[in-house]
Amino acid sequence: EVQLVESGGALLQPGGSLRLSCAASGFTFSNAWMNWVRQAPGKGLEWVGRIRSKTHGGTTDYAAPVKGRFTISRDDSQNMLYLQMNSLKTEDTAVYYCTTEDGSSAFWGQGTLVTVSS
Amino acid sequence: DIVMTQSPDSLAVSLGERATINCKSSQSVLYTSNNKDYLAWYQQKPGQPPKLLIHWASTRESGVPDRFSGSGSGTDFTLTISSLQAEDVAVYYCQQYYTTPRTFGQGTKVEIK
């Protein structure tokens, strides 16, 4: 059974930094492309970015609002996906989901809440 | 970026009746080399993550009831729930995966009339 479990959400002030983690199991993580998707309270879904598998270069793509501030990385030895978030803004407040990426997103974690507020 | 626009924003349908949600993309998401539309539909119930219902515009995910169907091509797509059940109350999103950034529609809330 595929499982994705996010962690690391917190309440922090604008300008702060945070790293989210996503523990993956039930599939061959090293072959998987992975996404981060976020959802602000009461709002819709917003794609944050993705990371390709190492065999496809392990490269990343980001949405414009987070480019240059957020970094997606992976540790295939630990089946872990990460989202490093720097220079956080109030508009980054959201539930952050990790998802598999095979074009569409077949599997989602339960999400972790990040609140940025002064 | 490809803009995805859903209509309506919300709808109320009687149990057993048909619900229809439309999704329009600002440019075609049909990849002509393989004749596939890079369009997915998700269902999100309160307090839960989204669930993939349909990909390639019309292919149901395993385990998704056959009352859910997707249609359309190019820039215009439809999600149809043929006979609404109480458990279908949710917000539905379309998403294009033709290119990055992946983009979602704003969501359509489906309720029971």
CA atoms B84, B87, B90, B93: torsion sign: negative
Is residue A91 within 8 A of residue A73, CB to CB? The reply is no
Cβ distance B102 to A35 less than 8 Å, yes or no, reads yes
Say yes or no to pLDDT of A103 above 90: no
Q: What is the mean pLDDT of residues A17-29?
A: 97
Cβ distance A63 to B61 less than 8 Å, yes or no, reads no
From first to last of the 113 residues of chain B, give the pLDDT tens digit: 999 999 999 999 999 999 999 999 999 999 999 999 999 999 999 999 999 999 999 999 999 999 999 999 999 999 999 999 999 999 999 999 999 999 999 999 999 99
Q: What is the mean pLDDT of residues A98-118?
A: 94
Is residue A97 within 8 A of residue A38, CB to CB? The reply is yes
Q: Report the candidate in B61, B50, B45 with the shortest Cα–Cα distance to residue B95.
A: B50
Q: Is B77 at the interface with chain A, CB within 8 A?
A: no
Say yes or no to pLDDT of A102 above 90: no
pLDDT of residue A87: 98
Q: Is A41 at the interface with chain B, CB within 8 A?
A: no
* Dist. CA B20–CA A65, nearest whole Å: 32
Q: Is A35 at the interface with chain B, CB within 8 A?
A: yes
Q: What is the mean pLDDT of chain A?
A: 97
Chain centroid, CA B52 distance in Å: 9
Cβ distance B104 to A47 less than 8 Å, yes or no, reads yes
| List of residues 6+ apart from A12 with CB closer than 8 A | A18, A88, A114, A115, A116
Cβ distance A105 to B49 less than 8 Å, yes or no, reads no
Q: What is the mean pLDDT of residues A11-17?
A: 98
* Dist. CA A34–CA A82, nearest whole Å: 10
CA atoms B40, A62, A108, A58: torsion sign: positive
Cβ distance A103 to B52 less than 8 Å, yes or no, reads no
User: How many A×B Cβ pairs under 8 Å?
Assistant: 51
Say yes or no to pLDDT of A104 above 90: no
Match 């990909």 to its residue by tokens.
B55
